[in-house]
Structure 1
Amino acid sequence: MGYVSLGFSMLGTACVLDSKKSVNAFDEIPKRPSEEQINAWIRILGDGRIKVLTGKMELGQGIRIAVAQVAAEELNTNIDLVEVNLAETGVTANEGYTAGSRSIEASAMSIRNAAACAREILKELAAKKLKIDKDRLDLKDGFILNEEQKFSFFEILDGQQIERNLKIPPEFKAKASRKIVGQPIKRKDISQMVVGKHTFIQDLRFPGMLHARIIRPPSYTSKLKSINENAFSGKEGFLKLVKIGDFLGVISEEEFQAVQLQREIFANTQWETGAPLPADKDLKTYIKNLAAEVAVEEQRGDWEKALKSASIQHKASYFKPYIMHAANGPSCAVAIYKDEKLKLWTHSQGVYPLRETLAPLLEMPQENIHIIGTPGSGCYGHNAADDVAAEVALLAKNYPGKHIRLQWMRDEEHAWEPYGTPMAFEMEAGLTPEGKIAGWKYDFWSDVHSTRPGGNPDNLLPARYLGKSYKKPAGGFKGGALRNSVPYYEIADLQTQSHIFSGPLRRSALRSLGAFGNIFAIESFMDELAYKAGKDSIQFRINHSSDTRSIECLEKLQQKINSVKKSKNQGVGVAFSRYKNSSSYCAVAALVEVSEESEVLVKKMWAVIDAGECINPDGLKNQTEGGMIQAASWTIKEKVLFSDQHIISLDWNSYPIFRFPETPECEVEVIDRVEQPPLGAGESAQGPAGAAVVNAIFDATGIRVRDLPVKDQLAKEINKK
């Protein structure tokens, strides 16, 4: 049984610009309602609008429009009347991290359920008030109507909120009438970005706001020996040097003053040399020789016996290097500390886990920390957002009463973010005379793929320099390395074995985690096996699949590339995966052209994606296109370079990514399965896209590129040939 209780609640604001209230009065830190209650997800506002509360962050994936659509559908309300409050402690539900392509599966479906429940309760309350049967009532654009009267939602609730517990509603309108869900409704923030009106975290400004910079050591493990404070203490704009152990931060009146002071202070410090990095080692060989935790992750049948009896046997090894998040806008955060309370604006992927982590770092109770999620400019994955938030929080606590803004510089972002880990792969399989796989052995080497803080200050960059107990970063999430390591094909005799090591550079979750590397290796190898068997690449995959949804994706992809006419030095490659072997299906094809100088241009990419029920086809296509382009850039160009002391890929020349002229034309077909639950799709295209590109290079040149990036390997292979 549910219950009804009425009460008022206070909501914070997501992006406060030039707000006198935020300067002159430190808001009471809000306390959120139970996530079992409807008003934890849906609020009715007095002006006729509906506020949707999501614990997820907008990372460019379009979560704002998607959750607005599901709420508007269930409440039969114009989507322009729906506003979305992003992740904010004390206001939105604690939904952990915005990661793993879970925003639609989790948050959007919770909001859909809350909106459907709210619809039924509003009709029930209105029917009681009007003394009529609730089936005679309709909802439209914030009003409840009958033949003669209409009342706003706010009036029906007497200005209160719906605090009943959630339950399963009798109907989801999105599964029946479907007027708003499933439509390509445009995101409002895109047009605002184009004209420079959208507010990113990097744009936040407050009256009287101060600026800061961190003085970085020359390496991960350097220790501060001495600092000459007399050399800069009288400089223009200088307010304070915050020194805690080996952590150094400077606060100034203006931003450029902070930049100048950062350089001046670094010039007047001396550091102990840190432990050297293995810059002179071949990274592929190096990581395979590190001490590792070895485990059999999947075992079916007798792969050794099957392989020995196979008429064709084949082996191959693959490699991917460290790659960057490479955020367009360097990480940034703003904080104010006052009356023993901290207010923080951040583009962290998890405001509640960050609060849980900052509490012990700052030696503050969690209830005194209010964190407001504010989108950052351009990043997928766990970059330096949590690090910069922790740094500005430390500075704000040591300089109370003023908003302090800290933004990293481009070279800092490149040099100090946690990267996507390198991975190495060894494959072995056999084929029967009929072209079926007989025996499969897969070994892969990987560091952990996520070192998100999650309550542990050790994984925050500044923690290692504070001179306290947090010195060595914690291990991280092994499971990310296993993602898609088991092929999504019918293979009777198989073994997958992991080798989890601890590498020399910072690492954490990068879009798709281990799936990109695992699928790149597996789908490249599948292409090689198809070639050995003399089979069409797509048909070979279909022959090893019993999942009708997989087969439909592959067949539709085949139809798209049947008419492609290849010119000289051009090739077409394909690949497929089901993300996490449990989420979205995605088949990708790529048309590439290889010049006489070994330069690879991706001319066009196609994708067929099945993400179950599609909430917004435009958003799903955008995510898939972006994933393909990003993965093609990883595959062809991207690699973190480092010396024996630190990272040397410090700009867009030393760490090149796709520029606009290199961006391929993309064509995406969405298979919309209304009867199925929606599946996360933001990370579905990366793995098959990378494999499709290298398979296309083979089709164009007859050369297998197995080590990434392609630009480093293709010329070598051509010279060998």
Structure 2
Amino acid sequence: MKPEAASPSPGPSRRLGAWFDLAEPGIVTLKTGKVELGQGILTALRQIAAEELDLPLDAIAVVSGDTAVSPFEGGTVGSMSVQVSGPLVREAAAELRQRLLRAAAMRSQVLAAELTTAAGRFYRDGAPLGDTFWTVAGEIDFDAAISGDAPVKPPDRYRIVGASPRHAGLQDRLGGGVYIHDIAPAGMLHGRILRPPHPQARLGAVAADKVAAMAGVLHILRQGDLIGVIAADEHTLSVAMERLARACDWQPPQPNDRSRTVLDILEQHAGQDSVIRDDPGVADAAGDRVEATYTKPLIGHGSIGPSCGIAVVDPDGISVWSHSQSVFALRDQIARVTGLAVDRVRVRHAQGAGCYGHNGADDAAMDAVLLARAAPGRPVRVQWTRRDELVSEPLGSPMRVRIVASVAGGRITGWEMETRSGTHMRRPGWNGEINLLGPAAAAGGWSFERQKDLPAHNGGTKNAVALYDMPQRVTHQFVSDLPFRLSALRSLGAFANVFAIEGVMDELADKAGIDPVAFRLAHLSDPRARAVIERAAALSGWSDPCPPGCGLGLGFARFKNTGSYCAVVALVAVEEQVELRRMWAAVDAGLAINPEGIVAQVEGGMLQAASWALKEAVPTEGTLLTAETWKDYPILSFAEIPEVEVDVISRPEEDSTGVGEVSLGPAAGAIGNAVARALGIRIRDLPMTRERVVDAVMNS
């Protein structure tokens, strides 16, 4: 069957052939717009398809994130792949099985209701018929729309969904050779764009004659403030880029006050207020008050492998390989910049080093396209340097959260929360803009415009409304013109909001003289929320005495207040610095498609949250980003990883929800509360470094 032509789409295709292909005997190929980022999504979707088709898992192949073949499903974002794509795959697979049954029944002149299927064969009264899925597939109209009428299998008959098979391609990923960095098409060249020393710097004169004369340097590209090199090999490229950097005269931006911190800048820029929730009586609440301000710094993705992209430009169009999470949006912006129709641009997802959010992957791909236009017919590979990654990728916005709350008689009587941040969304195409560095630097009119955040209860307001039963007034102060490149980073605003909410919940519990777990349960009527808190507390031995010098802390949230539930308990020891010893979590994601996959995702989120909470902050001098190496931006090391235990509460009667971001806010809250218990002093500013611990003790 011919691949479905790529075109902008408002939603997923309803054509059966957009989802499944039976061209290869013995294999059903599932096509999905979602991509694998290490979260196990392709395995989970294969499980759903195999379950509905009564096939073994190894009979389901997958094509993922190929804009020329895959159905449009937006980006792989928001912890929504299983939640949104899963039902679509289930519905399409049920439709495919129904159509195959009808085709087989027609051939055998029996009723479709008399037939059953197993392993791709048809049976009547237990006896196999001569046909298989593949022998009757040619009689199905794959161009016809999915009706939505095919019955899906009830959960009590699941055999594959709910099991934990190994993730697709895991062994290959462990051994390497499958990542975008390993792709080497014949005739491949190497290129790189030189980034300015400051985002607002302008490129003046360039004395590049000696660079152009180097053996192996094939082309120097200059368009406005964009300058880059194409070379025959990586070593020549590296030397050429060093020489080019010395040959460029960058004109500095307006004076930069290097004494201002990121949080100074966040407060000094104007904010736009919007009320997210406003319950009556909050301002007049009686009782003991807690007033607290919590902060989160500017943070990066910290991907171990730097961003990479490969592009080929030829008369037929442009082919791109990228580890982007948004291959369709990237395709659309490449078409827009190059002036091609979208069906002449093909973006194929390739494995990256792992990243949740908008890192430099899209930029590296666009860099490759801009350079490849100067070398028609030759693949051009762009791999960012570590410095590029640290200073040029989009970053997670700094945030400041202020809460004033009151408690009387063991109940929260009022809660006022004000959360302040920049944007959490600037992916390619967002707000109608290209949002990529290369086009913004080139003289093409693609400069970055004024920032816009996601709608309420997303972006900076994600999880700003607490799930607890209490009167709340929640305000968001959006700062639209922060002088940093900001975009999506795992959990968006939920990380800081939940960190602050859970810290104040402990502070209120202390005011009320009530155990923090009991205090939370007293403010939760949602039985699923109560269950994860009770389970996490039980796993950790919450009521047992804590070792000397240590502290236990708990954090809880339901991601977006509509997704999965998660509670985390952390055990820390604190002397001059925080030692994270153990972590426990309970998670409820509804129907658990792959329980071990859920565990892996929750564990990963907890460890990334620990790294953010204890170590990570982008170093700056005013608006200048100064990091060069990992020494300047340390992340949690293998030696610092604590023992982690995760328990999955599966609820087959509930819809599946995503878990990629569910544990980050609760983990930060748990660590912050554990530090407060161990130290006797609360640290409200992240990260909780050795310097902050010492300052807290000295100033207490």
TM-score, normalization by structure 1 = 0.93
Distance in 2, matches of 1:288 and 1:30, equals 43
Alignment of 1:131 with 2:124, yes or no, is no
Q: Describe the SS at the equivalent of 2:621.
A: coil
Q: Is the 8 A contact 1:381 1:509 kept in 2?
A: yes
Distance in 2, matches of 1:294 and 1:131, equals 68
Q: Describe the SS at the equivalent of 2:138.
A: coil
2:643 alignment partner, one of 651, 659, 665: 665
Distance in 1, matches of 2:316 and 2:150, equals 48
CA drift of 1:30 comes to 9.7
**Alpha-carbon spacing, 1:196–1:148, altered in 2? closer, same or farther (3 Å):** closer
CA drift of 1:475 comes to 1.0
Show the counterpart of 2:293: 317
1:577 alignment partner, one of 557, 570, 573: 557
CA drift of 1:477 comes to 2.4
Distance in 1, matches of 2:335 and 2:23, equals 33
**Alpha-carbon spacing, 1:580–1:30, altered in 2? closer, same or farther (3 Å):** closer
Q: Is the 8 A contact 1:640 1:655 kept in 2?
A: yes
Q: Describe the SS at the equivalent of 1:377.
A: coil
Show the counterpart of 2:132: 152
Distance in 2, matches of 1:461 and 1:365, equals 22
The number of residues matched between the two structures is: 690
CA drift of 1:174 comes to 5.3
Alignment of 1:398 with 2:398, yes or no, is no
CA drift of 1:42 comes to 1.5
Deviates more, 1:172-181 or 1:540-549: 172-181
Distance in 1, matches of 2:234 and 2:44, equals 37
Show the counterpart of 1:290: 269
Distance in 1, matches of 2:203 and 2:13, equals 46
Distance in 1, matches of 2:262 and 2:315, equals 50
AA matched with 2:462: R
Deviates more, 1:551-560 or 1:328-337: 551-560
**Alpha-carbon spacing, 1:257–1:217, altered in 2? closer, same or farther (3 Å):** same
Distance in 2, matches of 1:616 and 1:506, equals 36
1:437 alignment partner, one of 412, 415, 421: 412
Distance in 2, matches of 1:212 and 1:127, equals 58
Distance in 2, matches of 1:60 and 1:408, equals 21
Show the counterpart of 1:454: 429
AA matched with 2:212: S
Alignment of 1:265 with 2:244, yes or no, is yes
Q: Is the 8 A contact 2:260 2:621 kept in 1?
A: no
User: CA offsets, 1:349-399, max 9 Å, x none?
Assistant: 111111211222122221211111112112110001111111111111222
Distance in 2, matches of 1:114 and 1:347, equals 27
AA matched with 2:46: A
AA matched with 1:9: K
Distance in 1, matches of 2:106 and 2:7, equals 33
1:79 alignment partner, one of 53, 57, 63: 57
Q: Describe the SS at the equivalent of 1:208.
A: coil
Show the counterpart of 1:389: 365
Distance in 1, matches of 2:434 and 2:257, equals 23
Q: Which runs of 5+ in 1 are unaligned?
A: 1-7, 12-27
Distance in 2, matches of 1:482 and 1:89, equals 32
AA matched with 1:73: E
Distance in 1, matches of 2:627 and 2:194, equals 19
TM-score, normalization by structure 2 = 0.96
Show the counterpart of 1:163: 143
Q: Describe the SS at the equivalent of 1:258.
A: helix
Q: Describe the SS at the equivalent of 2:29.
A: strand
Distance in 2, matches of 1:323 and 1:174, equals 44
Show the counterpart of 1:547: 526
User: CA offsets, 1:192-240, max 9 Å, x none?
Assistant: 222224x111111111111111112111011111111211112121100
Alignment of 1:347 with 2:328, yes or no, is no
2:515 alignment partner, one of 530, 536, 557: 536
Q: Which runs of 5+ in 2 are unaligned?
A: none
Show the counterpart of 1:408: 384
Q: Describe the SS at the equivalent of 1:303.
A: coil
1:628 alignment partner, one of 606, 609, 618: 606
CA drift of 1:471 comes to 2.1
Distance in 1, matches of 2:629 and 2:112, equals 63
User: CA offsets, 1:549-581, max 9 Å, x none?
Assistant: 111111112211226552221110001101001
Q: Is the 8 A contact 1:142 1:152 kept in 2?
A: yes
Deviates more, 1:635-644 or 1:147-156: 147-156
1:566 alignment partner, one of 529, 541, 546: 546
Distance in 2, matches of 1:273 and 1:30, equals 42
Distance in 2, matches of 1:705 and 1:575, equals 15
Q: CA RMSD in A?
A: 1.8
Distance in 2, matches of 1:271 and 1:354, equals 29
1:214 alignment partner, one of 193, 202, 210: 193
AA matched with 2:427: R
Q: Describe the SS at the equivalent of 2:218.
A: strand
Distance in 1, matches of 2:138 and 2:262, equals 66
Alignment of 1:464 with 2:464, yes or no, is no
Distance in 2, matches of 1:160 and 1:129, equals 12
AA matched with 2:302: A
**Alpha-carbon spacing, 1:698–1:106, altered in 2? closer, same or farther (3 Å):** same
Q: Is the 8 A contact 1:450 1:508 kept in 2?
A: yes
Distance in 1, matches of 2:8 and 2:561, equals 38
Q: Is the 8 A contact 2:397 2:423 kept in 1?
A: yes
**Alpha-carbon spacing, 1:313–1:383, altered in 2? closer, same or farther (3 Å):** same
Alignment of 1:594 with 2:569, yes or no, is no
Q: Is the 8 A contact 2:258 2:622 kept in 1?
A: yes
**Alpha-carbon spacing, 1:30–1:149, altered in 2? closer, same or farther (3 Å):** farther
Show the counterpart of 2:665: 687
**Alpha-carbon spacing, 1:548–1:321, altered in 2? closer, same or farther (3 Å):** same
User: CA offsets, 1:582-638, max 9 Å, x none?
Assistant: 11010110011113xx22111111111011111000100000000001001100000
Q: Describe the SS at the equivalent of 1:566.
A: coil
Distance in 2, matches of 1:190 and 1:289, equals 47
Q: Is the 8 A contact 1:584 1:610 kept in 2?
A: yes
CA drift of 1:161 comes to 6.0
**Alpha-carbon spacing, 1:562–1:30, altered in 2? closer, same or farther (3 Å):** closer
Distance in 1, matches of 2:512 and 2:360, equals 46
Distance in 1, matches of 2:172 and 2:24, equals 26
Alignment of 1:421 with 2:401, yes or no, is no
Distance in 2, matches of 1:559 and 1:345, equals 47
Show the counterpart of 2:2: 9
User: CA offsets, 1:260-310, max 9 Å, x none?
Assistant: 11111111111101235553124334312311111111101121112xxx2
CA drift of 1:321 comes to 0.2
Deviates more, 1:441-450 or 1:28-37: 28-37
Distance in 2, matches of 1:666 and 1:164, equals 48
CA drift of 1:703 comes to 0.9
1:503 alignment partner, one of 476, 482, 491: 482
Q: Describe the SS at the equivalent of 1:605.
A: strand
CA drift of 1:145 comes to 2.9
Deviates more, 1:420-429 or 1:393-402: 393-402
Distance in 2, matches of 1:219 and 1:31, equals 35
Calculate percent identity across the aligned residue pairs. Answer: 34
**Alpha-carbon spacing, 1:316–1:141, altered in 2? closer, same or farther (3 Å):** same
CA drift of 1:59 comes to 1.2
AA matched with 2:2: S
1:40 alignment partner, one of 18, 22, 32: 18
User: CA offsets, 1:516-563, max 9 Å, x none?
Assistant: 010001111111111111111111111111111111111112211226
**Alpha-carbon spacing, 1:30–1:145, altered in 2? closer, same or farther (3 Å):** farther
AA matched with 1:409: T
1:654 alignment partner, one of 608, 612, 632: 632
Distance in 2, matches of 1:56 and 1:276, equals 44
CA drift of 1:457 comes to 4.5
1:185 alignment partner, one of 150, 154, 165: 165
AA matched with 2:695: K
2:207 alignment partner, one of 212, 215, 228: 228
Q: Is the 8 A contact 1:275 1:645 kept in 2?
A: no
Distance in 2, matches of 1:45 and 1:559, equals 51
Distance in 1, matches of 2:164 and 2:12, equals 33
